[in-house]
């Protein structure tokens, strides 16, 4: 994308941000990091979006309160325990912030706190008491460690950073994410932490994030379950030296493009690393009557368990695409719909004007045997388009979730 350059560094790529990830004892497995920290050297504008699940993790409630003033300095997150549906959950989350604040010499209200893992198990404060001093000592350009420490059933590290220009200054924006199961479009969809040295007012930062997630994280689905602890948070510390972005304009548009570059990459990472997944699915809908119809149709396709199972088996069962569009609620004339499958192995058209057309099953099998598959849907009703991401449904998904607590 013009003007945007991908770089190394993840959440530590932007000036003034450091990170750390250690094992503190929340998880029994000593080989897995379970406590992560991101720190800005100066106060930063902050914004976040949260799960719409009525059952919310205690850390989300504390973070919402802390971000009422639009400012933050640090993000702390544990994995292995969601701190959800616990009588003392709020107390534990607040105490965690207080412990970190005391160690760093900042205000507890300047801490974003998050947890991920098993729901309904009490979270002890003891691992934080012993772990936070060690965590703070480990601070450095350690985005990899931070990313590993927030993982649960993830099998791959998810991070990215990009460089762009705002106000004539070079700015950087990086991010990490965790998400493999309980992923379904209904903001939020996972844990994502973003950092930038671009100067952006809290109001415009919230506007940028809230707008972007509608086209990115809200368009990802792995299994149809909306988590209790989902959060996407972003900190902007202004150390790039640009004039603060406080209104719409060219600089805000550049920032939005950089943000979207990072979030789309993380969406693809999350969808491709769905629990038990072997394939990344991307549904591109074009020719919709309006944006709402395009998004509804794309999400309908990507959420279909039958289609996901067919993709696992490399079966070009295109009728499942039309079926999903039909019950999605999108305003569509099924008699105009076209469907094709595309991957590195080629493209095979399977449906035109709502009806099947002759195609080679052998070619289709080859196309659908790749690890990244595009499902191309043309609606023929208008000019609007949308993209959604997901993964195939495999035997391993059931195995993983059949004994998740062990």
Domain ranges of the chain: 5-272, 280-402
pLDDT confidence of residue 335: 96
pLDDT confidence of residue 225: 47
pLDDT confidence of residue 119: 86
**pLDDT block averages, 10 residues each, the chain of length 406:** 86 98 94 97 96 79 96 97 90 98 98 92 95 98 97 87 97 90 47 97 98 90 57 96 98 98 92 81 97 95 94 97 96 97 98 97 98 97 95 82 62
pLDDT confidence of residue 228: 52
CA separation for the pair 281, 289 (Å, rounded):
23
pLDDT confidence of residue 221: 75
pLDDT confidence of residue 398: 75
pLDDT confidence of residue 185: 46
pLDDT confidence of residue 315: 97
Q: Is 292 exposed, middle or buried (0-12, 13-18, 19+ CB in 10 A)?
A: middle
Angle separating helix axes 305-312 and 319-328, nearest 10 degrees: 160
Any catalytic annotation for residue 170? no
Structure tokens at 349: 């058209």
> Minimal CA–CA distance to 310: which of 352, 353, 339?
339
**Which residue among 116, 189, 296, 394 is the active-site one?**
189
pTM across the whole model:
0.85
pLDDT confidence of residue 180: 58
| Cβ proximity of 174 and 262 under 8 Å | yes
pLDDT confidence of residue 117: 87
CA separation for the pair 20, 24 (Å, rounded):
12
Pick the CATH number of 5-272 from 3.40.50.12500, 3.40.1280.10, 3.60.70.12, 3.40.1080.10: 3.60.70.12
Classified as helix, coil or strand, 389 is strand
Residues 6+ apart with CB under 8 A from 93: 58, 59, 61, 62, 83, 113, 115
Instruction: Look at the domain 280-402 and name its fold.
Output: Ubiquitin-like (UB roll) (3.10.20)
Would 5-272 and 280-402 be classified into the same CATH topology? Answer: no
């Amino acid at each position: 994308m013009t003007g945007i350059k991908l770089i190394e560094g993840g959440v530590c790529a932007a000036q003034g941000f450091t990170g750390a990830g250690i094992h503190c004892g929340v998880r029994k497995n000593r080989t897995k990091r379970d406590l992560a920290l991101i720190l800005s050297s100066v106060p930063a504008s902050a914004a976040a979006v949260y799960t719409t699940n009525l059952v919310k993790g205690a850390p989300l409630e504390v973070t919402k309160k802390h971000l009422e003033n639009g400012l933050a300095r640090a993000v702390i997150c544990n994995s292995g325990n969601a701190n959800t549906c616990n009588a003392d959950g709020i107390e534990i989350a607040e105490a965690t912030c207080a412990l970190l604040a005391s160690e760093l010499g900042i205000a507890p209200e300047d801490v974003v706190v998050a947890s991920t893992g098993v729901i309904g198990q009490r979270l002890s404060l003891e691992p934080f008491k012993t772990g936070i001093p060690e965590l703070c000592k480990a601070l450095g350009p350690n985005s990899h460690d931070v990313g590993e420490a927030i993982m649960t059933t993830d099998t791959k590290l998810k991070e990215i950073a990009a460089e762009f220009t705002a106000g004539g200054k070079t700015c950087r924006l990086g991010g990490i994410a965790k998400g493999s199961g309980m992923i379904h479009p209904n903001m939020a969809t996972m844990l994502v932490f973003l950092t930038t040295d671009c100067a952006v007012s809290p109001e415009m930062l919230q506007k940028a994030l809230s707008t972007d997630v509608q086209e990115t994280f809200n368009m990802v689905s792995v299994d149809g379950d909306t988590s209790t602890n989902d959060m996407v948070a972003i900190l902007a510390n202004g150390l790039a030296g640009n004039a603060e972005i406080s209104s719409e304009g060219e600089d805000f548009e550049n920032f939005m493009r950089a943000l979207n570059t990072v979030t789309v990459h993380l969406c693809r990472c999350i969808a491709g690393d769905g629990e038990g997944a072997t394939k990344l699915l991307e549904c591109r809908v074009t020719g919709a009557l309006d944006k709402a119809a395009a998004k509804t149709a794309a999400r309908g396709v990507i959420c279909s368990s039958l289609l996901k199972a067919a993709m696992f088996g490399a079966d070009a069962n295109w009728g499942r695409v039309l079926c999903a569009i039909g019950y999605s609620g999108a305003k569509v004339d099924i008699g105009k719909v076209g469907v094709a499958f595309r991957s590195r192995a080629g493209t095979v058209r399977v449906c035109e004007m709502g009806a099947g057309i002759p195609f080679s099953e052998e070619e289709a099998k080859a196309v659908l045997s790749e690890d990244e598959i595009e499902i191309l849907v043309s609606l023929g009703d208008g000019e609007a388009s949308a993209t959604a991401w997901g993964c195939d449904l495999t035997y391993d998904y059931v195995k993983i979730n059949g004994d998740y607590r062990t």
